[in-house]
Structure 1
């Protein structure tokens, strides 16, 4: 018997170690294997004549890397040497030709997707992050906000539901500090599992902590977080720097301790009175969450809620909010903000508004200000966003961009898809990002979900439309839930009858919108949608019923008529 020892890189938990152990013990001639995740080490008992190569192959087949501990003057040879050179394997494009070097600015959804795809395609990557690894979504955006929204939803249902006559409500005690600890615990868990752990496990990716700035179209200078600077040359660059809350120019606002979404999500208290400036996604999601957790909330909307969307959306959501006691002030702006004695005073055209906390949620601005884009020949639009084509290429041919710092829609799944396609294109492939059937969801209650054209957008593009709006009192699932707030609206092209857009305001509208997106993607007509089988007593059945209204009166149909 002999004993081999291997160092295993890439394991992130004890389950990884168990998978490695099982794989090693399946290798012919291995009598036992002990694998330690904390020590990142495997000790393997083998029969005489068994070499290291098949052991290394078993580990690398799982996606990990195996290497022998450093022993001066000793070489293992064979496949093991090839494996030990793995960090350089993605660094070879041909006989002796150096690998493509890709610099990635940022570490969020677009950056990670782009970096991983670039490595997969043979590049080596230097990823530069000035702040927290993981970007907006996992740290201060999608993940913490949806956790808070879900907690607020549970609190609301305990306090009030359509079944209160038979199920006595029990208003909960809100322990915000405990909720925050639970929220941040999950954030940290996902950040490690999906970002930090992955980056640490891939030798072909080098992480630089610092702030990047272009010197020219092939060079960056990085002001390192621990001091000093580093000059970095690249063959290709992916700018995925994200965006930050945009702050409106309101007299006195800058001198007050206002919240952005970042501070609101991190607050360990629930204010008695909360004022919200804004009328779109972040504003309405957090406004309702704080209201359901106990705040008296007032929303100041410069026009109406979701004024850029179909008017029925803002109308339905405003009605739902007001029914919950959330004050929605339409066509209202703050001309001045003051702060004294721990209170905010907002001056509006309708008088003064007082609050304990003020949330400013008026959109997000691209993080391009400090990049020195002009030195690299990168064109920005009037809002400071990087202008890109369908291949994610900027006006500088070797520099690509993806995510919230560009003129693309600010959704993390769009960012990730764009990052992947950018990596394909910068490594010699060809890929485009088609956003014609891009679904979007707002996680209010009822939720708002859209895909494709609204009537106004279709008219703008010269498309004649035929549309139908089905209120939820015609949807059996909504009736069974005793919750008929909202509607489903289908927009079809006149003549062809092809479905080109869907807007929905409904509980769990986000769960039905992907079906609509697939229907649009596959160019289905509303009649073809109406002819599909949908399971009875599901909310998505509302799509079928809405499609049937183009030719029938659904009120005259039996409950599950085909």
Structure 2
């Protein structure tokens, strides 16, 4: 398969890019990249004879195509720069860093990676992997004593947290080795242990040793943000990291915050037997979602015995005899909440303090994030940034996507943009919460004329046979085009379901498209089709499988 480049005049926006991309795809092109600002498209063809067919097809559009130029492998790579120690030097070793390193190494660059701690970044070491395995353990523990089947007599003993932690750590070590450490030798880049900071725009210092590079990637991630509450810094509180290392289940876990980290860890410890109190400043849980989602999740928490306190004004935190006391004001009334463990889960802040970016006039945002453009470049064009340090959507798959783009952009003359229009989000509670695209509120603010469909989970046959019907499907549709522009799900396996919805939103499927597609019966994904039918039908009046 060969790569080709064509200049195209007349493109003015992202919709123009989509139009050109669709035409190229129709005629067999693959790996398509279209840039309206640079006025060009790159693509691969299996059959070179398709070139002229593609050019003729583009002539039928409002745009003006130039000649199609073949790009040989040599054209796609930048020559190694022997002026510096490395062609490409990466600070950090998480998902963005490895994705960039692999791409750049495959393209022939001399690559090094600097890491001050464990290789692998947040996800494998202290984030996704350890949290999700403990979440599953908590779910099994809770189900043993709270399942919905009347004929089953099950029970569970007090969990052995020390053994759970041992098993979790073995999994972390295994994945860190297989998915990160082993790849360093496989792809042939250097790992340098230590903390890095910039001396000038082409030089960093690591443990007193100076290293130079033609290009850099800042991929240092983010850390828990600690709010300025009187007395908090003098208290032995937990963060999302240390909360996953407890050797005993707390009697009462009190949580400052109610975002995805607070919900996941709070429910996990509730499932393991703790009393849990969540506290938030705002008046509505998950205020970034539409009310149907927020209300469903709040009901879920209350049903499991989790206490949620809203519109909290934090006055002071103190610790006495191992107990934590959080002094509050709620609706003008003073209250004190006592717990034996306190988790602070109020968001994350970018890890930029130690970079000494002031030495190179690196541009940072008001929260300390590295500012980037669509090509992941900072204000210094040969220095890139990716992942949580940019305050992009904080998912490892976003970081990996960005890192791969940087790896290409530092090693090829043609640059690629990040595309973050269709990023699915999942919170791994039980049931889980997943979303893609606009909420109803966001769509209205963006000027869409919208239609919405809200389907209670009790209308999905899979939920009925599971005897777990607490949840909801909500679809957002552009009333003019009937295209799906948003989907939000609270249900078992919502994270799996949302991938289908992501494809529907990305490829501009309509409600009719979903309705005309056969959905496997007794799957949670069938809820997407049933929700699409709900735009103009009462699904309670349909027989099983009639959708």
User: Which range, TM-score by smaller chain?
Assistant: 0.7 to 0.9
Q: Corresponding residue for 1:264?
A: 243
Q: Corresponding residue for 1:105?
A: 91
Pair 1:138-2:124 in alignment: yes
SS at match of 2:217: strand
| Aligned 8 A contact 2:80 2:110 in 1 | no
1:92, CA displacement in angstroms? 9.2
Q: Corresponding residue for 1:474?
A: 459
Q: Corresponding residue for 1:54?
A: none
| Aligned 8 A contact 1:104 1:128 in 2 | yes
1:482, CA displacement in angstroms? 1.1
Cα distance in 1 for residues equivalent to 2:466 and 2:524: 10
Cα distance in 2 for residues equivalent to 1:333 and 1:138: 35
User: 1:398 is matched with which residue: 377, 382, 388?
Assistant: 382
Cα distance in 2 for residues equivalent to 1:94 and 1:379: 28
Matches within 5 A, 1:277-426: 277-303=256-282, 304-350=284-330, 351-426=335-410
Cα separation, partners in 2 of 1:97 and 1:216, compared to 1, 3 Å: closer
* Consecutive unaligned residues in structure 2, runs of 5 or more: 1-76
Cα distance in 2 for residues equivalent to 1:96 and 1:341: 62
RCO (CA 8 Å, sep 6+): is it higher in 1 or 2?
A: 2
Q: Corresponding residue for 2:543?
A: 558
Pair 1:442-2:427 in alignment: yes
1:172, CA displacement in angstroms? 2.8
* Consecutive unaligned residues in structure 1, runs of 5 or more: 1-90
1:100, CA displacement in angstroms? 6.3
Q: Corresponding residue for 2:135?
A: 149
Cα distance in 1 for residues equivalent to 2:374 and 2:449: 26
| Aligned 8 A contact 1:93 1:100 in 2 | no
Deviates further, 278-287 or 382-391: 382-391
Pair 1:494-2:479 in alignment: yes
1:383, CA displacement in angstroms? 0.7
1:136, CA displacement in angstroms? 0.6
Q: Corresponding residue for 2:115?
A: 129
Cα distance in 2 for residues equivalent to 1:330 and 1:171: 33
Q: Corresponding residue for 2:501?
A: 516
| Aligned 8 A contact 2:474 2:531 in 1 | yes
Cα distance in 2 for residues equivalent to 1:190 and 1:141: 13
| Aligned 8 A contact 1:388 1:407 in 2 | no
| Aligned 8 A contact 1:386 1:405 in 2 | yes
CA deviations 1:320-371 (Å, max 9, x no partner) are 1111111111112422100010100000114000000000000110001121
Deviates further, 461-470 or 358-367: 461-470
CA deviations 1:27-85 (Å, max 9, x no partner) are xxxxxxxxxxxxxxxxxxxxxxxxxxxxxxxxxxxxxxxxxxxxxxxxxxxxxxxxxxx
1:107, CA displacement in angstroms? 0.3
Q: Corresponding residue for 2:212?
A: 233
Cα distance in 1 for residues equivalent to 2:221 and 2:407: 17
| Aligned 8 A contact 1:109 1:413 in 2 | yes
1:519, CA displacement in angstroms? 0.6
Cα distance in 1 for residues equivalent to 2:344 and 2:352: 21
| Aligned 8 A contact 2:483 2:508 in 1 | yes
| Aligned 8 A contact 2:86 2:212 in 1 | no
SS at match of 1:385: coil
Matches within 5 A, 1:531-542: 531-542=516-527
Q: Corresponding residue for 1:242?
A: 221
| Aligned 8 A contact 2:85 2:213 in 1 | no
Cα distance in 1 for residues equivalent to 2:201 and 2:291: 45
User: 2:163 is matched with which residue: 160, 163, 178?
Assistant: 178
Cα RMSD (Å): 1.7
Cα distance in 1 for residues equivalent to 2:86 and 2:338: 57
CA deviations 1:413-436 (Å, max 9, x no partner) are 000010000111111232222121
| Aligned 8 A contact 2:453 2:535 in 1 | yes
CA deviations 1:203-251 (Å, max 9, x no partner) are 3x111111111122211112x2xxxx11111100010000000001100
1:378, CA displacement in angstroms? 2.3
Q: Corresponding residue for 1:162?
A: 148
CA deviations 1:288-321 (Å, max 9, x no partner) are 0001101111001211321222222221111111
